[in-house]
Amino acid sequence: MPEIALTQAPAHIRHGSNIGQPLTRRDGVLKVTGTARYAADNHPPGMLYAVLAVSSIARGRVAFLDVAAAKAHAGVVEVMTPANKPALAQDPDEKSNPFMFRLDLLQNDRVRYANQPIAVVIAATLEAATEGATLLSPRYETEPARVGLDANETFVPAVVGPGHPPAAHRGDIETGLAAASKRIEATYETAPQYHNAMEPHAIVATWDGDTLSIDTPSQGLAMAQGRIAGLFGIAPGKIHIRSPFLGGGFGSKGMISGPQVLGIMAARMVGKPVKLVLRREQMFGPVGHRAPTRQILRIGADNDGTLKALDHRTKTASSSFDDFFEPASDASHTLYASSAIATSHEAVRLDTGTPLFMRAPGEATGSIALESAIDEMAQACGMDPLAFRLKNYAEVEPISGKPFSSKALRECYSQGAERFGWERRSLAPRQMRDHNGLLVGWGVGTATFPALMFEGHAKAVLRQDGSGVVEIGAHEMGQGARTALDQIAADSLGLDIDQVDFRSGSSDLPDAGIAGGSAHTATAGVAINNAGADVIAKLADLATNDSRSPLFGAGNAGVIARGGRLFRRDDERRSEGYSDILGRSGLAEIEGQGASVANMGAPSTYAMHAHGAVFAEVKVDPDLGQMRVTRLVGAFAAGRIINPRLARSQLYGGMIWGISFALHEQAVMDARSGRPMNPNLAEYHIPVNADVPSLEAIMVEEHDPHVNALGIKGVGEIGITGTAGAVANAVWHATGVRVRKFPITLDRLIEAQA
Ligand code: MOS
């Protein structure tokens, strides 16, 4: 294969080719001018509006719906209920693989959680459909809701997260604890969180006979296509999904959700295009969430602060009818070396919607508990928490014993600490004040996230005029994929980015795999890179086998592609332009295909992770307990950075979520009704500008030859993991008060102090 001229220069240095450049978003103008078309912006002719009626109880059955009153309302066209819904080809409660989640599609009158759809009103206007849904005035037979981690029998799930075993260990934990000279045991709790993407789940569905055309946000087009095909009994190829932009997904749009399918059913029922958009409060139930956890950490160390035992037990919750278990204890698999490590999970079934992957699922929940406990252990040893981490961070993956693909973590600790000024930190808490008398605290947390890759496919075309086309059903959900992947596309063809027509966001393009697990750039990027390489190899064959070409006889591996020309590797003065090669051959274009191969769970010599270290400063009012994060410095090693501007933005996003996790975000469930009490963005707190301080994200240079051909790791989720713990630890350092229930709210701080 000929070489594609990828830069070997440090990722943060501008170097002249596309990869590594801090380009602004290619779709930026579309977005800021409002011309980027999101799902709900579509209005096909004749379109009707569907509005969900959702359950106000968490468990029981719907005894009565006043369908007549709703239908009598002006503008209402149809009311879809379990009695008249269109037939499906597949039971929505069928589950033939772990990622086929059970959906509530009006299959019966049962209510399994609050905000479950119980009817759909379809009308000529949004207002009429909304009023019609109100007029349904449901009556229920209510059963007591099971709310909270103690509300039902405890059991051990068969698998946690994406199919991981529920327990793992290395060495004997009790022996390790017994041998330790210092021990801590502490219980931490994390709250339920809901994805709350800025764009709610929305769909515009149009049937034409048995073909289906839909506009809907999707993090996994082929998976959505497959699920819909099964439910409606049509071939996947009959379904065209357009998803050019998502207003965030965070995992909730990875699989097609029940409400999206209800929109398709509504369109089938009325024989017209139908739009269905979730109201904010309707997102607190049927589209997934992060389950609550209670985590018990037992840690032992010897006199010089060397870890001897690390036991991490998690209790979490799933719904009464389906399985997803937040794998919080797995966070202890990758961070700290200890001769004995044990992790385990147990769970309870509650009357909630089924939890789901949500931004660093397991890593976020698990790491805030682990990082807090590590801090408590450092304190017990009388050691600086950074020094304790430097002594105990893992150089091989602790449970598997596999070498990490890099040892860049140490560099993250040292670059982050230096930038932050960590050496000026007082060892004891409650020692530092600012000029206004506010308590100042500094905390550190280690960041970790697996370097995943899924299966993906791409197509590349080189046209006779020397321009290129790259096609992949990739997902632009605000993270910048369109830009970063376009950069890879341009380099893969050895072209300038403006010479490449980059097409993505549609199910009729090659399957890009799922945009999740911080793996989209690696997955789609490697597929694109291979598609481009396939084109260039064919082009090189044409040239090097043609006696009229200056490249004749160089051999396929003897040329390099750059700037729209092929160069002889051993003599760069000899080159030929793409259009000259194609023109002479009489070909209008050359097409190439590329794929990436999933690495999840693949037996591998190396443990693949991105790493980081985050340093936080908080200020706390000593009288009122009011907390603010005033400074955050993160240092991250995440392989090759395709676009430093966008990668930094992703790292910032994660760090802000870390602040949210530590101090703000929680769904409060009413213990009596099982309803979320704060299903809106006024009371479900997330950080606003005033909560977010000066952020710094240092991208530590890392060349990892093992993760994939481009050396790409993920930057989307890792920022949450170190930050949440760093903020929690900074609150302790400011106040001397350890709050073990997250988020750390003012009342909890005061309560823990009392
Ligand atoms: Mo996700 S939980 O969208 O990686």
Out of 195, 218, 250, give the residue to mutate to test ligand 1, the one with the largest number of ligand atoms within 8 Å of its CB: 250
Which residues line the pocket of ligand 1, CB cutoff 6 A?
219, 249-251, 254, 357-359, 361, 516-518, 717
Rg (CA), the chain: 27
For 731-744, what is the mean pLDDT? 98
Q: pLDDT value at position 399?
A: 87
| One-letter amino acid of 298 | R
H/E segment holding residue 215: strand 211-215
Pocket test for ligand 1, best of 359, 365, 476 (most atoms within 8 A of CB): 359
Q: Which two tokens stand for residue 406?
A: 């890099």
> pLDDT-derived band of residue 364, with 50, 70 and 90 as boundaries?
very high
Residue 15 has pLDDT above 70, yes or no: no
Q: Which is more confidently placed, 546 or 10?
A: 546
What's the pLDDT at 406? 62
pLDDT at 493 over 50: yes
Which whole number is the average pLDDT over 22-34?
A: 96
Of 632-641, 680-689, 705-714, minimum mean pLDDT range: 705-714
Question: Looking at the annotation, which residues are catalytic?
Answer: 717
3-class secondary-structure state, position 691: helix
Mean pLDDT, residues 85-105: 96
Residue 155's nearest CA partner among 357, 366, 364, 350 is 350
- Our mutation pick for probing the ligand 1 site, out of 195, 717, 720, 721, counting the most ligand atoms within 8 A of Cβ, is 717
> Which ligand 1 atom minimizes the distance to the CA of 249?
3
Mean pLDDT of 672-681: 97
* Cα 195 to averaged position of ligand 1 atoms, centre (Å): 10
Nearest to 220 by CA among 249, 255, 248, 260: 255
User: Which amino acid belongs to residue 277?
Assistant: V
User: What is the position in ligand 1's atom list of the atom closest to the CA of 356?
Assistant: 2
Query: Cα separations (Å) of 490 from 156, 494, 573?
Result: 49, 6, 23
Instruction: Compute, in angstroms, the gap from residue 369 CA to the centroid of ligand 1.
Output: 20
pLDDT category of residue 11 using cuts at 50, 70 and 90 = very low
In the reported structure, the alpha carbon of residue 514 is separated from the centroid of ligand 1 by a whole-number distance in angstroms of 9
What distance in angstroms lies between residue 513's CA and the mean position of ligand 1's atoms? 13
- The Å distance, Cα 250 to ligand 1 centre, comes to 5
Cα of 638 vs centre of ligand 1, distance in Å, is: 17
Q: What is the spatial distance between Cα 548 and Cα 678, in angstroms, rounded to a whole number?
A: 73
d(CA 195, CA 752): 29
Ligand 1 center–CA 114 separation, angstroms: 24
Q: Which residues of 417-454 are buried (b: 16+ CB within 10 A; e: fewer)?
A: beebebeebeeebbebeeeeebbbbbbbbbbbbbbbbb
DSSP 477: S
Distance in angstroms (rounded) separating the CA atoms of residues 85 and 69: 18
What local confidence, expressed as pLDDT, does residue 601 receive?
60
Q: Which tokens belong to 586?
A: 């009489």
Distance 359 CA to ligand 1 centre (A): 5
Q: Ligand 1 mean position to 684 CA, how many Å?
A: 20
pLDDT for 113-167, tens place per residue? 999 999 999 999 999 999 999 999 999 999 999 999 999 999 999 999 999 999 9
Q: How many angstroms separate the CA atoms of 705 and 57, rounded?
A: 53
Atom of ligand 1 nearest to the CA of 717: 4
- C-alpha 249 – ligand 1 centre gap (Å): 7
Closest approach atom of ligand 1 to CA 361 = 2
Residue 28 has pLDDT above 90, yes or no: yes
* Helices (runs of H) and strands (runs of E) counted in the chain: 15, 29
Query: Residue 10 above 70 pLDDT?
Result: no
CA distances from 93 to 107, 183, 221, 230, 307 (A): 9, 47, 22, 12, 46
Confidence bin at 13 (pLDDT 50/70/90): very low
CA 199, CA 211: separation in Å to the nearest integer? 26
Residue 281's φ and ψ, nearest 5 degrees, are -70, -20
Residue 515 C-alpha to ligand 1 middle, in angstroms? 7
The pLDDT of residue 343 is above 70: yes
Q: Tell me, what's the pLDDT at 682?
A: 95
Read off φ and ψ for residue 400, nearest 5 degrees. Answer: -80, -25
CA of 580 to the centre of ligand 1 (A): 45
By most ligand atoms within 8 Å of CB, the mutation choice from 201, 223, 326, 357 for ligand 1 is 357
Q: Indicate which atom in ligand 1 lies nearest the CA of residue 360.
A: 2
**CA-359 nearest atom, ligand 1:** 2
Q: Smallest Cα–Cα separation from 23: which of 606, 561, 647? A: 647
Q: What is the pLDDT of residues 588-620, one digit of tens each?
A: 999 999 999 988 666 678 888 999 999 999 999
SS3 406: coil
Residue 2 has pLDDT above 70, yes or no: no
**Atom 3 in ligand 1: residue holding the nearest Cα:** 251
Report the nearest atom of ligand 1 relative to the CA of 519: 4
Q: What is the pLDDT of residues 46-57, one digit of tens each?
A: 999 999 999 999
100 — pLDDT class (breaks 50, 70, 90): very high
Report pLDDT digits (tens) over 177-234: 999 999 999 999 999 999 999 999 999 999 999 999 999 999 999 999 999 999 999 9
Q: What is the mean pLDDT of residues 91-104?
A: 94
Pairing of strands 456-463, 110-111: unpaired
What value does the mean pLDDT of the chain take? 95
Helix then strand then coil, in percent of the chain rounded to 5, is 30, 25, 45
Out of 500-509, 575-584, 699-708, pick the least confident.
699-708
Least confident segment among 132-146, 219-233, 286-300, 391-405? 391-405
Over range 539-566, report the average pLDDT: 93
Q: pLDDT over 90 for what percent of the chain?
A: 91
**Closest ligand 1 atom, residue 517 Cα:** 4
Question: Is 394 a residue whose pLDDT tops 60?
Answer: yes
Per-residue model confidence as pLDDT tens digits over 228-253? 999 999 999 999 999 999 999 999 99
- CA–CA distance, 66 with 334 (Å, rounded to integer): 55
Question: Could you identify the atom of ligand 1 that is nearest to the CA of residue 516?
Answer: 4
